[in-house]
Amino acid sequence: MLMNLFKFKGGVKPPTNKTQSVGLPIAQAPLPSRLIVPLHQSIGGTPRPVVQAGDTVLKGQLIGEADGWISAAVHAPTSGTVVAVAMHVQPHPSGLDALCVVIEPDGKDQWIAREPLDYKTLKPEEVRERLQQAGVVGLGGAVFPTHGKLTPAKTVPMDELVINGAECEPFITCDDLLMRERAEEVVRGIGIFRDLLQPKKVLIGIEDNKPEAAAAMRAAIAALNESFLVIQVPTLYPAGGAKQLIRVLTGKEVPASKRSTDLGVQCFNVATAYTAWRAIAHGEPVVSRIVTLSGNVDQPRNYEVLIGTPMGELLKLAQPHPDTDGIVMGGPMMGFLVPNAEVPVVKATNCLIAHCDRLFPPKAPEMPCIRCGSCATVCPHELQPFEMYWFSRAKNFGKTQEYHIFDCIECGCCSFVCPSRIPLVQYFRFAKSEIWAREREKNAADGAKARFEFKQLRDEREKAEKAEKLAKAAAAQAAKKAAEAAAAAAADADEAAAPADVAPSAPVDAEKAAKMATIQAAIERAKAQREAAQPKNTEALSAQQQRDIAEIEARRTVLEPTTPEVVVPAGDNSQKTE
């Protein structure tokens, strides 16, 4: 099979540490004592809980309903009783809590009625809906709801569907084992994606250190008579990053500012294809996934694990050594230490690594950057990490953006090679979160300002309206009086002259008087405001100073005839808007 491979720049070759966990087949992890199922397990809206404490649930029963289009449903991983819907600490670097459904298994592991479907008889929307209802999300770690990626763009033809079986992070072997053992179902799942997206080619990328997986996939493709291409890509971290794999297989580069569909490519993980197939063909929502247990343990192995299983309990299966001092979720390049052993396995959990200092020696103290450029050489996104580091450190976040910090995929290659031991990625995360925080603050401030201004405008208008009503009443009163006066007339010609002039134009004058009253009210208000806003530092002044101020004030009053005019148009405007 001849196929031109492209290269991505940079990349590193950390020791792969994969052989430890591929020796044994995937095992079923036993039912844990409790399952803590977070409702928010995908990018997008947080599903709404549809169960309460005390409810009994069956395996696969809906417990969290998708909230909006970009969101995916969450299901009970086994049958049992809901003991709480409560906040629980999450496997996330932030260590924050999130709403979880806590289930006590009844041990029967009893399924809901499963309804197998032939997706070919369904409309594409129905398939997507079905996947959303089954909670199918990207299991490569990004957990983007799968159905959201399965709509072909109308403008750009879909050239390639890329299936990610590269699995480039050290230690992780769950996709490798999945492909070896369940290749047929993976391939069938890919078939669903292919039928929905109608790409010209389907390319399955597998790192060349997994020949068994590649062979199994090829055999399955042949058996199912598909035309997918299995391509072995060079083992180089991060070849399994979606953008890097797309680059290697298609030559296309997807920058941060674009989606891959804009370039006619879409990429899914092999495990996602597998769960999609299970969801459609077996009616099984995503309630479990394959997790690699490795690191400082006696028995590294892959397990099929129920979502919600507490990590500490799960890791015991692999018999961690006594000096284990933490659990890393994910690989050693991009993973993170989980806050504690109680956090649950989620859909994004591909690997748990027992951490110890022997395996991952504590980092040497950070030295100054010597601009050796190693970080730039290995950066797969061809950034200049040392420049971004410099500006992150200096908190010059504008500059970090000029150096494209948001194109950084946080792969960690730069930190890996830095001779000065600078935790570059950490600086970039810090800079990004600062930029986001500022953005949010600014949006919040803008919102508050807009609200404040709107409120002021409304107050102003209400006051003006009130003043006008009063003025109208007063004018009517005046007109009445004027009319009476005119009727009584002529006693004193000199004195009567003025009212007599007024009388014929009474209705017009009422209007004018109303306006005048408005103006008067506005002037009063302005004056009151001015007085209220008077600085308080003018209280203890010398006689001379007070005289000066008085003089200035006098001059200002003379020079300030415009005040009422400023306010009147506002009153006029408010009338117009009615």
Partner 1 sequence: MMFAPAPFLLKDVSVNQVMTQVCLALIPGIAAYAWLVGPAILAQLVIASLAALLAEALMLRIQGKPQAMFLADGSAIVTAWLIALTFPPLAPWWLVVTGTFFAIVVAKHLYGGLGQNPFNPAMIAFAVCIVAFPALMSQWPGIGLQAGLIEQINVILGFAPRLDALSGATPLDALKTALKLGEGQVDVAHLLANQDIFGTFAGRGWEWVAAGYLLGGLWLWQRKIISWHVPLAFIGALTLISGGLWLYQPTQFASPLFHLFSGGAMLGAFFIATDPVSGCTTPRGKLIFGAGAGLLAYIIRVFGGYPDGVAFAILLMNLCAPVIDLLTQPPIFGMKDKA
Of 119 and 389, which CB lies nearer to ligand SF4 in the complex structure? 389
Could you list the residues that contact ligand SF4 (CB under 6 A)? Answer: 369-375, 378-381, 383, 385-386, 389, 408-414, 417-420, 422, 424-425, 428
Q: Which two tokens stand for residue 114?
A: 């499963």
Work out which of 144, 386, 389, 391 binds partner 1, going by CB under 8 A: 386
The H or E element spanning position 8 is none
Q: Write a three-state SS string for 148-187.
A: HHCCCCCCCCCCEEEEECCCCCCCCCHHHHHHHHHHHHHH
Contact 415/392 with Cβ under 8 angstroms? no
Query: Is 373 among the residues that bind partner 1 (CB under 8 A)?
Result: yes
Reported as type and span, the H/E element at residue 474 is helix 424-488
Binding mask 32-71 for partner 1 (x = CB under 8 A): ----------------------------------------
In angstroms, give the least distance from the CB of 411 to partner 1.
9
Binding mask 75-104 toward partner 1 (x if CB under 8 A, else -) reads: ------------------x-x---------
* Residue 95 interacting entry, from ligand SF4, partner 1, none, C-beta within 5 to 8 Å by type: partner 1
Q: Which is nearer to partner 1, 257 or 562 (CB)?
A: 257
User: Which range of residues in 104-112, 382-390, 507-515, 528-536 is near partner 1 by CB under 8 A?
Assistant: 382-390
CB 194 within 8 A of CB 186: no
> How far is CA 383 from each of CA 409, 422, 436, rounded to the nearest angstrom?
10, 16, 20
C-alpha to C-alpha distance for 253 and 381, rounded to whole angstroms: 9
Strand partners, 231: 205
**How close are the terminal C-alpha atoms of the chain, in Å?**
74
Q: Which residue stretch of 30-38, 313-321, 327-335, 466-474 sits at the interface with partner 1 (rule: CB under 8 A)?
A: 327-335
Half-sphere exposure of 268 (CA within 13 A, CB side): 28
The partner residues of 355 in beta bridges, in order of sequence, read 326
- Cβ closest to partner 1, residue 363 vs residue 458: 363
As a whole number of angstroms, the distance between CA 386 and CA 136 comes to 39
Distance CA 549, CA 540 (A): 13
Strands (E), 487-555: none
Q: Which stretch binds partner 1 (CB under 8 A): 43-51, 199-207, 420-428, 444-452?
A: 420-428
389 is in the binding site of which of partner 1, ligand SF4, none (Cβ under 5 to 8 A by kind)?
ligand SF4
Q: Is 466 helix (H, G, I), strand (E, B) or coil?
A: helix
Closest approach of Cβ 207 to partner 1, in Å?
17
Give the pairing of strands 160-164 and 201-207.
parallel
d(C-alpha 414, C-alpha 383), whole Å: 10
In the complex, the smallest distance separating the C-beta of residue 260 from partner 1, rounded to whole angstroms, is 10
Query: Between residues 282 and 429, which has the closer beta carbon with respect to ligand SF4?
Result: 429
Among 368, 398, 535, 561, binds partner 1 (CB under 8 A): 368
Question: Minimum distance from CB of 109 to ligand SF4 (Å)?
Answer: 42
String of contacts with partner 1 for each residue 225-244, x by CB under 8 A:
------------------x-
DSSP 65-121: E--SSS---EE-SSSEEEEEEEEEE-SSTT--EEEEEEEEE-SS-PBPPP----GGG
Which of 303/416 has CB closer to partner 1?
A: 416
Report in angstroms how near the CB of residue 421 gets to ligand SF4 at its nearest: 8
Residue 512 interacts with which of ligand SF4, partner 1, none, CB < 5 to 8 Å by class? none
Q: Does 12 bind partner 1 (CB under 8 A)?
A: yes
Characterize 217-235 residue by residue with b for buried, 16 or more Cβ atoms within 10 angstroms of its Cβ, and e for exposed.
Answer: bbebbeeeeeebbbbbbeb
The listed partner (partner 1, ligand SF4, none) that binds 422, CB under 5 to 8 Å by sort, is ligand SF4
Placement of tokens 């159905």 in the chain: 147
Which two structure tokens, joined as six digits, stand for 534? 């008077």
497's tokens: 């002259």
Is there a cis peptide before residue 238, judged by omega within 30 degrees of 0?
Answer: yes
Q: Which is nearer to ligand SF4, 280 or 405 (CB)?
A: 405
Question: Which x/- pattern, by CB under 8 A, does the window 237-276 give for partner 1?
Answer: ------x---x-----xxxx-x------------------
Q: Does 328 bind partner 1 (CB under 8 A)?
A: yes
Q: How many residues bind partner 1 (CB under 8 A)?
A: 63
**Is residue 170 at the binding interface for partner 1, with CB under 8 A as the rule?**
yes
At residue 2, the 3 state secondary structure works out as coil
Return the range that interacts with partner 1 (CB under 8 A); candidates 9-17, 392-400, 436-444, 477-485.
9-17
Give the footprint of partner 1 on this chain (CB under 8 A). Answer: 8-9, 12, 14-15, 93, 95, 170, 243, 247, 253-256, 258, 326, 328, 330, 332-337, 353, 355, 360, 362-365, 367-374, 376-377, 380-384, 386, 403-404, 407, 412, 415-421, 423, 425-426, 429-430
